[in-house]
């Protein structure tokens, strides 16, 4: 079932989400939520969706950066962003460790529909979490995948990308396409 994606201003987007117990994770309700979030993310389309974005203050997110999403992105831009396909997976109760190197790129959000801004984020991260079977996992990510993870984990902490953005770069998606899309990020102030 497709869920409603809440927009900025909804109180749940500014709350700290709660941890899930192993029993909750494997419950029918949470398994259904995961399926519905996956469908909602794909329909949007988006590369990640956190439970608070659909009104659930839970530390849970789904991620899937499909190759089809960047078919119109140049090879140079994919290389600059270190972007490659990421298969679908679920992160629950994540703990993130940020690397020292930073990368600046335009970022958008399904909960701030129609806007984008440059956000500086760690280029590399390590995330310890549990999956949808309540099994402990860890991963290391870099580039665009690291950005997705940080963005979704921010949602679980009640933060939006606008809290981290370079305010002078905030723009509508329409104007981003007109003025920024095909330019190197180094040219943006």
The beta-strand segments (E) located in the chain are 48-50, 60-65, 86-98, 102-107, 115-122, 124-130, 136-142, 171-172
Active-site choice (67, 113, 152, 187): 152
> What are the pLDDT digits (tens) for 168-186?
999 999 998 888 877 777 6
The CA distance from 91 to 131, in Å, is 6
Report, as an integer, the average pLDDT of 1-5: 96
| CATH class label, 11-187 | alpha beta
Report, as an integer, the average pLDDT of 158-172: 96
> What are the pLDDT digits (tens) for 12-59?
999 999 999 999 999 999 999 999 999 999 999 999 999 999 999 999
CA 109 to chain centre: 7
Determine whether 132 is an active site residue.
no
Enumerate the domain spans of the chain.
11-187
pTM metric for this prediction: 0.95
């Amino acid at each position: 079932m497709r869920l409603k994606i809440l927009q900025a201003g909804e109180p749940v987007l500014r709350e700290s989400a709660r941890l899930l117990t192993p029993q909750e994770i494997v419950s029918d309700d949470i398994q259904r939520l995961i399926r519905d979030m996956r469908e909602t993310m794909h329909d949007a389309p988006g590369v990640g969706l956190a439970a608070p974005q659909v009104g659930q203050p839970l530390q849970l997110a789904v991620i899937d950066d499909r190759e089809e999403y960047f078919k119109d992105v140049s090879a140079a831009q994919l290389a600059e962003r270190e972007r490659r396909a990421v298969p679908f997976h679920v992160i629950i109760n994540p703990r993130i460790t940020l690397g020292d190197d930073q990368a600046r790129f335009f970022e958008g959000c399904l909960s701030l529909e129609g806007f984008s801004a440059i956000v500086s984020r760690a280029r590399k991260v390590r995330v310890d979490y549990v999956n949808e079977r309540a099994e402990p996992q860890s991963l290391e990510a870099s580039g665009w995948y690291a950005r997705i993870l940080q963005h979704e984990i921010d949602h679980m902490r009640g933060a939006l990308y606008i809290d981290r953005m370079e305010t002078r770069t905030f723009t509508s998606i329409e104007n981003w396409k007109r003025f920024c899309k095909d330019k190197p990020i180094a040219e943006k102030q």
